[in-house]
Structures are given as structure tokens and as C-alpha cells.
A = this chain, B = another copy of it.
Amino acid sequence: MAGRHPPLGGIHEAALYVDDLEAAERFWSRLGFEAIGRAEGRHVFFRAGQDTLLLFDPEASLRAEGEVPAHGALGPAHLAFDVPDDAALEAWRRHLEHAGVAIERELSWPRGGRSLYFRDPDGNSIELITRGSWGY
């Protein structure tokens, strides 16, 4: 059935797991992300364009005291945000530099599109990528 699933827009939420929720919240707030939900000791959620970035304390989210299924991971994960064009990527470069966040890597993709990589305080690998690298 390859390529034959019901309609799906894309990825709407991605999770990162962090040791220190308050430090993580300071980091993403300093980068200008808007916190839109918070449960003390368990999670803080940020709007990321049309999608949502979820930050969890993995021990708390694994306990599954709530109505949502349990989950929780350890170690540096990865996600990518898309930025609309090269001008926006350059604005992000200046924005990260201004915020004192090191750019770990910069790549150009064979099909087009460029990426900047940085780390959150827990070492998660965050990518900013212009559309085009995947061909859609």
C-alpha cells in the first residue's frame, strides 16, 4: 500500500525531552518562541509556526498520570523547523548569533535548500531548513 494512506497534512507536534524544564523554557523563550501550555514538572509547549514543539521531563511523561499515553526518551534527539526562504534563514542566523546560540553546522542540500544546526541546552540537535531539500 505504499503511498496509499488516508489524508495527512504533515507533522503537527514533535517532542524533545529535557533534564531541566525551566532552563529549556528560558532557552526557547529567549529565541522568541511563545509558550502556550505548561504543567509544572511535566511539560512546557511552544508554538512553532503552524505546529507545536513539546518539551517534556521524560520521567514525568513516562509516569502517564494523565489521559495521554506514556512516553519519554533519553539522549539527544533531532527535529527540523522549516523556514520559508534564504532571507529568513539569514535572519535566523543573525537571531541565533544575537541570542548567543552557536551554529554547529551549515549544509546545502543536493536538491536545493540549506540548513543551519544548533543545540538546545540538553544537546538536542535542532535544524532550520529551507523548503526544497526533499523535493516537496
Contacts and interface: CB of A to CB of B under 8 A. Distances in A.
Interface of A: 1-15, 17, 29-36, 47-54, 56, 58, 61-62, 67-84, 88, 91-92, 95, 104-105, 107, 117, 119, 124-125, 127-129, 131, 134, 136
Interface residue SS majority, chain A: mixed
Given A9-B131, A10-B49, 10 more contacts: A6-B91, A8-B92, A10-B48, A11-B80, A12-B129, A15-B78, A17-B75, A67-B107, A70-B76, A72-B76
A11 to B, nearest CB: 4
A49 B5 CA distance: 10
Contact of A14 (B11, B73, B105): B11
